[in-house]
Amino acid sequence: MLTDLTIAAARDGLRAKDFSAVDLTMAHLHAIEALNPRLNAFITVSHAKAVDQARAADVALAAGEQRALTGIPLAIKDLFCTEGVRTTAGSKMLSPFVPPYESTVTAKLLHDGAVFLGKANLDEFAMGSSNMTSAYGPVENPWKRRQDDTAVLVPGGSSGGSAAAVSARLAMGATGTDTGGSIRQPASFCGLVGVKPTYGRCSRWGVVAFASSLDHPGPFARTVQDSAILLRSMAGHDPKDSTSANLPVPDFEAACRRGVKGLRIGIPREYRSDGMPVEIDALWQQGIDWLRAAGAEIVDVSLPHTKYGLATYYIVAPAEASSNLARYDGVRFGARENGGDLRDLYERTRAEGFGPEVRRRILIGTYVLSAGYYDAYYLRAQKIRALILKDFTDAFGRVDALLAPTAPSAAFAQGENMDDPIQMYLNDLFTVPANLAGVPAASVPAGLDANGLPLGLQVIGKPFDEETVFAVSTAIEQAARFTALPSLRAGG
C-alpha cells in the first residue's frame, strides 16, 4: 500500500519511478475520503489543489528535479495560514477566513515540493489536550482499546487532527504546533514520532498565535527519520520573525545515524511522581535500559523547579493568549456578530466566536496581567520560568540529553477528563517544561499499555542540538521495534 510507505521510502520510490506523485497523492485522498468522515482529522480537504501540486511534482521528477519532499503528501495543522485555503484555527471565529498569505513553514515545505492534502483539525486556537475543544467537532483516535473497541478515544491535542491523519495513513507526515505539548502528547497517544524543535528553529510567521513565547511549529511522522526529513524543510531563519534564530539548519537525517555510544543521558528525578502509573514508570525504565544497552551512560539529574512548571505554564500561556486573541474582534476579518455599538459588537462577536476553553484562558490571562495581580502571577511566573531554564542549563552541563515519559497516560476516551479542566491540564505535566525553556524535545513510540494503546518516551536536548535528540530518538526507535498498527487505517 502506498499509504503505508515512510516518507524516506516514498522519496526513493518516486525517484525510481515505481509510482507517480499523483498515484501517491490519490492513494491518500482516497484514504481521506474513506476514513475522514469518521475520524474528522481534516477540517478542510484541498483535493484539487493537492492533485495540481502532485502533477507539478511529477513534472519536476520527470525533469530529474527532486527536492527533499517532492510529491510527498502532508497534512497541515489548521493553525498555519495557507494562501487561498481557509484557515480556521479550529474556531468559529475564523470560519470564513481565507488567508492572502502563506506561512513561512508551509512556504518552505511547498518550496521543497510537498503536496498539501488539507488542513488538519485541532483544539480551538490550539488550546487543549484532547482535540475536544475544536469548533469543527472532535477527532477520533485511530487506535482502539483491545478490550473495548467501541470506546472512542481522543488523539490528544492540540494537534489531534495532524496526529490522527498520520497515524491512520491519511497523510505521510504533518505539521503541528507545540505550545505545552501539543505535538508530543498527540504523538504519544497515536503511536507517532513528534518533534518540538528549539524555540526559534521554525518561524512562527503566518502561524495563528496562541502564546508567542511558547509556540513551536514542528513535524509529525511515523519514523524518526521521516520527522528529521520534515524538520529540515520546515526549519531556518526568517527575518519576518524577530524570535527566529539566525543559524544554519543541520542535516537532521544524517544525525539520526549517529548512535548514542558515549552519550550521557540524564534521568530527571523530579519527573518521577508518586502518582505515576506503573506502566509509564516501567516504560521509562525500559527506555533507560535500551539506551544503556546501546552504549549511553545514564546519569541521575535534578530539575528542581519541575513541580512549578505546570502552574507557570498556565499563567504565561493564557496571559499571552489573552493579548494575542484580542485581534479577533469582528472588525476586519473572520466572524462578526453585529451589535448596537462598538462594545456590543465586541462582546457579541467574542462570546459567539470563541468556545468555552478559549474564553476561560482569555479570562485567566486577563486576570493575571491585571493591575494588582501582575506581580503576584505574571511576574512571578516569569521568574520561575527563568529558574526552569536554569535547571535545564545546569543539567545540560552534565548530560547530552534527557529521557522522560511524554504523557502521564495513554489516550483517554472522549468525554473523560472533560468536567475538570485541571485534570485535563495535568496531561501537559511532562511536556510544558521544554516549552518554558525553549529546548528541543521529541516523543518516540516506545510501547503499548495494557489496553494495547501506544505510549511515547520523550527525549529532551540542548538548545539547537536537535541532532542529539534525533540520535537518541533513533536508538529508542530501533530498540522498541514498535510495529503495532492502529485499528482504523487506510486499507486496514
Partner 1 sequence: MASGGCDRTPVRLNEGPAVGSLERHRMAYTIEGSTGTWEVVVGLEVHAQVVSQAKLFSGAATAFGAEPNSQVSFVDAAFPGMLPVVNAECVTQAVRTGLGLNAQIHPVSRFDRKNYFYADLPSGYQISQFEHPIVGTGEIEVELADGSTKVIGITRLHLEQDAGKSIHDQHPTKTLIDLNRSGVALMEIVSEPDIRSPEEAGAYVRKLRSILRYLGTCDGNMEEGSMRADVNVSVRKHGEPYRTRCEVKNVNSIRFVMQAVEAEATRQVEVWESGGTVMQETRLFDSGRGITRSMRSKEDAHDYRYFPDPDLLPLVLDEDWIAALKASLPELPDAKRARFIQSYGLSPYDAAVLVAEKATAEFYETVATGRDAKIAANWITGDFFAAMNRLGRTIENPPVTAAALGGLLDLMADNTINGRIAKDVFEAMVETGKDAATIVDEKGLRQVTDAGAIDEAVNRILAANPDKVAEYRSGKDKLFGFFVGQTMKALAGKGNPALINETLKRLLAA
Catalytic-labelled residue, pool 91, 129, 134, 158: 158
- Known catalytic membership, residue 487: no
**Annotated catalytic, 119?**
no
CB atoms within 10 A of CB 317: 28
Question: How many Å apart are CA 222 and CA 99, to the nearest integer?
Answer: 30
Is residue 213 part of the annotated active site? The answer reads no
DSSP 3-state of 374: coil
Grid cell in block for residue 201: 528553529
Least distance (Å) between residue 411 CB and partner 1: 29
Pick the binder of partner 1 from 196, 204, 222, 361 (CB under 8 A).
204
Question: Please, which residue, 26 or 369, has the CB nearer to partner 1?
Answer: 369
Question: Is residue 135 close enough to count as binding partner 1 by CB under 8 A?
Answer: no
- When the beta carbons of 6 and 366 are compared against partner 1, the nearer one is 366
Contact 303, 433 (CB under 8 A): yes
Q: Provide the mask over 237-266, with x wherever binding to partner 1 is found by CB under 8 A and - wherever it is not.
A: --xxxxx-----------------------
How many residues of this chain bind partner 1 (CB under 8 A)? 42
Stretch that binds partner 1, among 235-243, 266-274, 304-312, 397-405 (CB under 8 A): 235-243
Binding mask of the shown chain, residues 64 to 103, with x at each position contacting partner 1 by CB under 8 A: ----------------xx-----x-x----x--x-xxx-x
Q: What are residue 207's DSSP bridge partners?
A: 80
* Cα diameter, the chain: 70
Instruction: Give the shortest CB-79-to-partner 1 separation in angstroms.
Output: 8
Question: Does the footprint of partner 1 cover residue 320 (CB under 8 A)?
Answer: yes
110 binds partner 1 (CB under 8 A): no
DSSP one-letter code for 377: I
Among 273, 285, 302, 370, binds partner 1 (CB under 8 A): 370
Which among 111, 121, 81 is positioned nearest to 98, based on CA atoms?
Answer: 81
Sole binder of partner 1 in the list 66, 95, 213, 487 (CB under 8 A): 213
Contacts of 492 (CB under 8 A, 6+ apart): 169, 485, 486
Query: What residues contact 322, with CB distance under 8 A and at least 6 apart?
Result: 361, 362, 363, 364, 365, 366, 369
Which of 86, 237, 277, 333 lies at the binding interface for partner 1 (CB under 8 A)? 333
Tell me the closest approach of the beta carbon of residue 211 to partner 1, in angstroms.
7
Return the C-alpha cell found at 334.
Answer: 473572520
- Fill in the DSSP letter of residue 248: P
Give the span between the Cα atoms of 454 and 410, in whole angstroms. Answer: 6
Task: Give CA–CA dist 88/96, Å, rounded.
Answer: 8
307 touches partner 1 by CB under 8 A: no
Residue 207 CB, shortest distance to partner 1, in Å, is: 5
Note the Cα 143 to chain centre separation in Å: 18
- Cell numbers for 66, please give them: 527532486
Q: ∠ CA 417-194-406 to the nearest 5 degrees?
A: 50
Return the number of the residue (377 or 392) whose C-beta is nearest partner 1. 377
d(CA 338, CA 32): 37
Q: H or E stretch including 301? A: strand 297-301
Residue ranges in contact with partner 1 by CB under 8 A? 80-81, 87, 89, 94, 97, 99-101, 103, 204-209, 211-213, 239-243, 319-320, 322-323, 326-327, 329, 331-333, 342, 346, 366, 369-371, 374, 378
Catalytic residue numbers, as ranges: 77, 158, 182
